Chains A and B, each alone.
Chain A
Amino acid sequence: MELLIVSVLFFGLLTLVSVFVVRGKRLAVKTESFASVQREAIKLARAIGEDFNRATDKQHNYNNDTVMFLSSKPVDQATEPVLEFDAATGQVLWKQWVAYYLHEPEKVVKRFNKPLPTPVSDPLFATGAWDMTEFPTLALSPNEGRAMAKGITEFAVSRALGPNMWEFRIVAEGEVPLGNMSKEDKKVRVEIETGVRLGVKEIP
């Protein structure tokens, strides 16, 4: 009789705990799904922010899924100085073209880079930029570009905040990997609008 009572109480408690754990787990999976989508969006925003720190406002181009600019980053970080100047004028040497492109079918934003034939100190003399229509084809090649973020459904300059500052709109989407949910409930969506400066603001 005592054993029976203990067993009933025990299994009752176990059931209760199981219900809480299962619910907790569902919530955790849901939260993680949100966090994962948010991480991708933030990762992309930070990556483009860092790249833009090495960009110039005198040479760039963008449309609704692509942004292209000139960068002072070394092409080969192992052999080149992290930052180089024109030894006569002190102007930064611009070394490569960098582009971010949203490949919509795969919801992936890829980063492309292409060294300049010759580094230039005057951005207006930079040559060899991509044609903006090349990117849909380039993105299909597995050897071209590096995936920066997944699950991105929108990536575009939404407006100019100043002569050298843009507002980016980034939308990332995902799904909660759980059953017993409607398709709408499973959908996770994060929108980020962030201001990014081309180059670094002058120190006052």
Chain B
Amino acid sequence: MKTSTKKLTRRKGLVLPAVFSVLIILMFLVLAVTSMGTTSLRQAGYVTQDDQAAYAAEAGLARALAQYQKDGTISEATGTGVQLMKGALEGSGATYQVNLYVNDGPGPMKVPTGAYIPEGTAFLVSEGRSQAERSVRRSAALVEKGLGTVEVGSLASAFLAENASFKAYDSSKEAPGYTGLGVDPNSLLDQQTIIATNESTGQPVKLTNSEVLGNILLGPGSDPNAQVSKDGTSTTQRVGVLEEPIELPPVEVPDIPGEDDTGAPPQPENYSPSGAANHVNFTQDANGKVTIINQCFTCVIQPNGDFSVSESSGPAGVSAKSASGNIKTGVVNHAPGLSTQFDIDITGSSFSVGGYWHGLKLTDTGQLLVDPPTNNSGDKWSDGNLEPYTAPTWLSDAFFKNIPPDLTNPSDMETGYFNNISIDSGTTVLQDSSTIVVNNLEITNGGQLNLPDGGKDVTIYVTGSLTIDGVNAILNETRKAPELKIYYTGTDPVQVSGGASTFMTLIAPDAQITLNGGGSSFYGALATKEQLTLKDAEFYYDIATEGVGTGTDGGTLSILAHQRL
């Protein structure tokens, strides 16, 4: 029994080490294979976590921007300094934290990343972390909330620009004595609001091969991304949306006191005497034309004194009548070939017209006599009963005040009221601190309206029509647009073409404005409630004019920069 036991013990001792050896070898092999597999797995895991962290950072940034746009803050805290937002992505477990640094100014502000951010901007840095926090990614954005309240360089219902440019500068920053082409480069400005429109439908700004080196404000409720039309070669800076329309104040043409020959500009008027003669109506247009209608009787008197009068025919033998003339000169021309004529009398103190059916008489004392329709008793003035009235001043003035003078190529112009001013050769020098009211102003064929160097404070009101055409038609040698203002109250389109010294402010509320002509440059400010067109032209908004109005853009969040760090 002892021998048998020893043999069994020896056999067990051989198998066991062999099995262990094999197991150890197998273990190393398995470890090697597993190691190779896990390397790839780990690599893929890192990539996944990295992506999770990046997406978390972007999600945090997007959420923070949306909240900042809505509330102006991303946490309970407000004002300058850091604000915080935290969150997590559902499912992945990735988290984010957003820091917001707001710079309300003044001046640039240094943020913890070491960068400086401009006044009026906010810097958002979002840090995303994967669930296991093995990967951290950051994304940042610098934003500006709206343009704020700004002065605008041009206002119109629509802007059409072709081969044009809109720029901004400050004439007070030009080097003294600067005479180069265009403006002093050192006076050019960035991020000014050059274009503004109150329109909020369609595409009120259309740019073709044009640049706007400044900002644009669209009407309330506009979509800043859709309502500025520009082709591939056109550029703009920021586009904002007005909170309220910019109101263009009405132009009030001053009543210039002066001599008899520089009376106040005509205003639209209407007068119907009450009583038996209420069939008579007197009207005056903005251009000074007076129209008198008494049933079949019509008399029209122009500001320069030209008149025309007509009446329907009467009983057999009484023809229709027609005549014309000038009440200032006393000239009367009866229409030829008529069997009967008006009885017209013009003196220095009265004007009377008698027809078959009607008649009227106006004296310089303001007495108005009307021959009513029932008094048909012949082609003589003062036949029948005359109804007396007191004429309104404007009506007396229309007859008895001398009309404002016409000027052709005057050597200079000072404060006064004028009818027609035509400058088609030579230079007309504007006097300092003058206010000029003119019905029609026409500068053509090389004539120049000149504000000499050192001149200042000239305002011109144009009530009829305005034409500015030709090289240096406006020659403002001061290079200061605030010193020369033109207000145009008419409705005829205004065209400004040619010239490199057109430094002025032009306000034409009811007229389309067109700047065109190769190399045409306009420096100053422009406003109309109609369309503004630039073709092959440049508009430089001079901020020294303080613009043509003030608008507020508070709603649009502009992303100045967005980077993944």
Contacts and interface: CB of A to CB of B under 8 A. Distances in A.
A39 to B, nearest CB: 6
A25 B562 contact: no
Contacts of A2: 11
Contacts of B65: 203
A83 B114 CA distance: 8
B130 interface: no
Interface string A15-41: 001000100110011011001000100
B33 A28 contact: yes
Contact of A85 (B15, B18, B116, B559): B116
A160 B22 CA distance: 59
Interface string B547-565: 0000000000001111111
Given A3-B11, A25-B32, A46-B47, A85 B560 contact: yes
A17 B191 CA distance: 77
A85 B565 contact: no
A85 B117 contact: yes
A42 B51 CA distance: 13
Contacts of A193: none
B22 A14 contact: yes
A92 interface: yes
B22 A83 contact: no
Contacts of A199: 562-563
Given A25-B33, A203-B61, A203-B141, A53 B563 contact: yes
A16 to B, nearest CB: 12
A83 B113 contact: yes
Contact of A28 (B36, B50, B108, B144): B36
Interface string B2-35: 0000000001001100110010001001001100
Given A6-B15, A21-B29, A53 B118 contact: no
Contacts of B19: 10
Nearest to B232: A163
Most buried by B among A24, A32, A82, A203: A203
B393 interface: no
A88 interface: yes
A87 B564 contact: no
A200 to B, nearest CB: 5
Contacts of A91: 560-561
A90 B142 contact: yes
Contact of B118 (A14, A32, A83, A90): A90
A3 B13 CA distance: 12
Which of A3, A32, A54, A87: most chain B CB closer than 10 A? A87
Nearest to A93: B115
A200 B19 CA distance: 62
Interface in B29-73: 29, 32-33, 36-37, 39-40, 43, 47, 50, 61-62, 65
A91 B142 CA distance: 9
B190 interface: yes
Of the four ranges (under 10, 10 to 19, 20 to 34, 35 or more), the interface on chain B belongs to 35 or more
Nearest to B142: A90
Contacts of A84: 114-116
A85 B563 contact: no
17 contacts: A10-B19, A25-B32, A39-B43, A46-B50, A72-B563, A81-B113, A81-B115, A82-B114, A82-B115, A83-B140, A85-B561, A87-B108, A90-B117, A199-B562, A200-B564, A203-B141, A203-B562
Contacts of A88: 108, 118, 190
Interface string A91-109: 1100000000000000000
A200 B563 contact: yes
A85 B36 contact: no
Nearest to B144: A90
A17 B24 CA distance: 13
Given A32-B36, A90-B142, A203-B61, 20 more contacts: A10-B15, A17-B22, A21-B29, A24-B33, A25-B32, A35-B39, A35-B43, A72-B563, A83-B140, A85-B115, A85-B117, A85-B118, A85-B560, A87-B116, A87-B118, A90-B118, A90-B121, A92-B563, A203-B562, A204-B62
A80 interface: yes
A32 B35 CA distance: 10
A200 B191 CA distance: 23
A200 B562 contact: yes
Interface in A102-126: none
Nearest to B11: A3
A144 interface: no
B118 to A, nearest CB: 5
A202 interface: yes
A84 B565 CA distance: 11
B190 A82 contact: no
Interface string B104-133: 000010000111111001000000000000
Contacts of A143: none
Given A54-B564, A87-B108, A80 B114 contact: yes
Nearest to A2: B11
A96 B41 CA distance: 36
Contact of B115 (A53, A83, A89): A83
Contacts of B108: 87-88
Nearest to A39: B43
B563 A83 contact: yes
Given A87-B118, A90-B121, A90-B144, A42 B47 contact: yes
A89 B114 contact: no
Contacts of A35: 39-40, 43
